[in-house]
Every structure is written in structure tokens, then in C-alpha cells.
Structure 1
Amino acid sequence: MKIAVWSGPRNLSTAMMYAFGNRADVTAWDEPFYASYLHATGIIHPMNDAILAAQPTDAMQVIADLAQTAETPHSYFKLMTHHMLPDVPLEWAKDCINVHLIRHPARVIASYGAKRSEITSNDIGFQRQAELYDHLGGVVIDSFDVRANPQGVLERLCAAIGLPFDPAMLRWPAGARPYDGVWADHWYGAVHKSTGFAGGEGELPVLDGRDAALRDAALPHYEKLAKLKL
């Protein structure tokens, strides 16, 4: 089984990858289209040169790599929605179980802004996620629900995609993983200290100015998918 998990950044996506990657029957892939996205767009991200050197910059080569059979029965692809540019074919994803991980835009923007001062609507990927759902369908889960009830949500998710639940998904050793992307040193500080999902989230962050405008633009896309969540 190939499981394609789509999200924007700062969406609990790395913790979810660690949960699945902690299973003995899963091989995890960390944002395989990152370098091809940077190469195609010319956008500069933290650790830009290291990312371009660490991964294929041709999206078609990435697709070919994802099609290869892993040593384990299942593969888990952690995928950023904005990395999937409109001219990249999606036929490969139709052979996957597609899961859409969502998070309220206010939380995403507040978290992303702590790591990178420049933020655009494209960076947080809500519109692209809605487009990908329209094209691929799949299962929707909300990171708020995962943090509030990890076992319950993961059990429902596993049932929905036809994968037996494994308690190993709830706890993992602290520290980096061999499948982490080279960018982990910049982005994964908190999750490297974790041994499981953090507790429930509090009130929504209060945003103003540019960040409030970004939230308002993203909300319709988030709310569309939130109505479909498990």
C-alpha cells in the first residue's frame, strides 16, 4: 500500500510521518518533491542549496522513484501541497491511498511565521490542497483532532484506509530519523524533542494585518475540507 498524505507546512505532518514511520511495516518518505519545487520555481527557502543537492530536481524522476517497491509492505509519502505544481502529472497519486491532513489557517500562519518571516498564500498551500482533494479524493483528518485524541483518530484513519492499527504509532524515540529531509535541522526542532503527539491545542492565535488577510483567504478552503473530516 502506498499512502500519500497531503498537507501544508506546520500541520503536524512530521509527527504523523514519525507515527507511521515507527511501524515495522512502513517505509517513510519526507517531502520528496521539495527540491523539484525549488528548482522549478526559483523560490529560495532556508537551506536551499542543501535541499537541491539532496534530492532529484526533476519531478518526473521523483514520480519514478515513488513507484519503486519498498522493502516494507507499505510506503508513507509526506507531501506538501504547494510542492505539487500544476504542470506535474497526478496519475501516480491515483494509485495511492490519499489522505489530507488539515489544520486551521490561524494556527498554521502563526507557526510558520515563527520559522520564516515571508509568508504567501502559496506557502501555506490551502487552495492547492482543496484542488488536490477535488482531483484525487481521499480521507480528511484534522491535526486538532489528532492532538486531542491520537489513538482514536489514528484507529479511525487506519480503518478508513484498510490498514490495521499499530500501537507503535503513538510513541517514538526522541531525536532525528534516517528518513528526515536535509531541512530537518531548520524545521524539526520541536518534533525531534517529542516522543509522541503533543496534547490538545488551545484557543486560536489572534492575527492582524497581513497574517489576518492570509487567514481569511485560506479559511474557505480549510472549511470545505473540514466538513469532510473523519
Structure 2
Amino acid sequence: MRIAMWSGPRNLSTAMMYSFGNRADFAIWDEPFYAPYLSQTGLDHPMRAEILAAHETDAAKVAARCLDTIPAQKLHFYMKHMPHHMIDGMPLDWAQGCVNVHLIRHPARVIASYGVKRSQMTFDDIGYAQQAALFDRIGGHVIDSADIRADPETMLRNLCVAIGLDFDPAMLSWPAGPRADDGIWAAHWYNAVHQSTGFAGAEGPLPELDGEAAKLCEQALPYYERLAVAKIV
């Protein structure tokens, strides 16, 4: 099985990658299209130069690897993808060979978390419109990060049932620290998850936003709500 897990940033996506990566039968791949996205857009993201130097920037080669032999002779392949990386002209036909899952999170939480790591953000950076468009195009399953954090075992079991995969208790925890499979950007973005050994507990009240952050949330909310209707429960 090849799983393409689609999510915006600050969305439990790295914890989910570690969850599947802790299974003995899964290889993982961290944001394969990030370097092609930066190369083609010219955007100035944290660690841009390091990312372009360390990772494949040719989108066609990345797409081919998505369907190539699974690394490390593993039975299954988990790929962490971001919809906003798939700009016009980026290959997407490979996704037809994958089980597509869309990981969502309330935009107020995403925007509050993203702002801690990158003070300047645009609507495109958080990926809600792109994720809704991708879901309309390729379909797939939807799961909400809040539901996972509230009850990890139940939701991961439900996800496994939905996609036809046996549940493995190894998904519920992982060793602290970085992974060899982390993208080089982990040094900037993954400090919290590197300190974790499992999913954090249920989230509290939504953060209060104001100014531009509140406007971004208002813009993103309809896309989140549209996907949330389809989520696994």
C-alpha cells in the first residue's frame, strides 16, 4: 500500500508520519515536493538554500519515485505531502496509484502555530483552498487532527479500517528525537515533535486571533468545514 497523506502545515502531519514510520512494515517520505515547489516558485522559506541543496528539485523525478520500489524493502509506503506544493504543472497522475488521505485541522489552530515559526504568512501558505481543490480532484479519505489527539487509538484504528490496513499498536508511540527520514527543514520546524514520544492530548479552546490572522482564519474556515463534513468518525 502507498499512502499519500495530504495536509497543510502545523497540522499533526509530522506526528502522523512518525506514527506510521514506527511500524516495521512502513517506509516514510517527508514532503517530497517541497524542494521542487521552492525551486519553481522562488519563494523565500526558512532554510531555502539548504532544502534546495539537500533534496531533489526535479518534480518529474520525485513523481516517479512515488511509484518506484518502496525503500528499505518495506511492504508499505507512507508519503507526507502538502497540497500547496502541487502548483500548476506539478505532476499528479502518480496519486492515482496511492490511497489518498486528507489530514485537516481547524484554521485558527494552524494559523496560531504557523505564526510562531514564520511571522509572515499568506492564505496560500496554509493550503486550505489547495487542499479542498485536491480533494475535489482526487477524492480520498478525510481525518481531523483534533479527533486523533482526542483519542489516538480509536481514530487510527478507524483510519486503518477505512483504508484496508491492519492496525498496529506501534503507531501509538515513537522514540523521541529526529529521524533519518526527516527533511532537512526539520531543524527549523520539528523541535516540538522531536521532544514527543506519542500524540499530544486533546486540544483546548480555539486560540483567539485578531488582525490579519483573524482574516486569514475567516477565509480558510469554509474550506475546512467543507472537508470536515467527509471526515472519518
Using structure 1 for the length normalisation, give the TM-score: 0.99
CA contact (8 A) 2:4 2:95 kept: yes
CA deviations on 1:8-47 (whole Å, 9 max, x unpaired) are 0000000000000000000000001000000000001111
- Tell me which of 85, 95, 98 is aligned to 1:96: 98
2:198 aligned residue:
196
One-letter amino acid of the structure 1 residue matched with residue 135 of structure 2? Y
1:4 aligned residue:
4
2:172 aligned residue:
170
Paired residue secondary structure (2:135): helix
In 1: Cα distance, 2:195 partner to 2:132 partner: 32
CA deviations on 1:106-132 (whole Å, 9 max, x unpaired) are 000000000000100000000000000
In 1: Cα distance, 2:55 partner to 2:66 partner: 13
One-letter amino acid of the structure 1 residue matched with residue 209 of structure 2? L
1:154 aligned residue:
156
Give, in angstroms, the shift of residue 56 of structure 1.
1.2
CA deviations on 1:70-128 (whole Å, 9 max, x unpaired) are 11110000001111112112210011000000000000000000000010000000000
1:41-60 equivalent positions in 2, closer than 5 A: 41-60=41-60
1:105-144 equivalent positions in 2, closer than 5 A: 105-144=107-146
In 2: Cα distance, 1:143 partner to 1:120 partner: 22
In 2: Cα distance, 1:89 partner to 1:7 partner: 18
CA contact (8 A) 2:102 2:143 kept: yes
Gapped runs of 5+ residues in structure 2?
Answer: none
1:80 aligned residue:
82
2:184 aligned residue:
182
2:209 aligned residue:
207
Paired residue secondary structure (1:3): strand
In 2: Cα distance, 1:44 partner to 1:62 partner: 21
In 1: Cα distance, 2:45 partner to 2:228 partner: 29
One-letter amino acid of the structure 1 residue matched with residue 34 of structure 2? Y
In 2: Cα distance, 1:86 partner to 1:111 partner: 27
In 2: Cα distance, 1:21 partner to 1:86 partner: 30
- For this pair of structures, how many residues does the alignment match? 230
One-letter amino acid of the structure 2 residue matched with residue 222 of structure 1? Y
Paired residue secondary structure (1:53): helix
2:220 aligned residue:
218
Paired residue secondary structure (2:117): coil
Moved over 6 A (4+): none
2:35 aligned residue:
35
In 2: Cα distance, 1:83 partner to 1:162 partner: 27
One-letter amino acid of the structure 2 residue matched with residue 47 of structure 1? M
Identity, % of aligned pairs?
Answer: 63
Gapped runs of 5+ residues in structure 1?
Answer: none
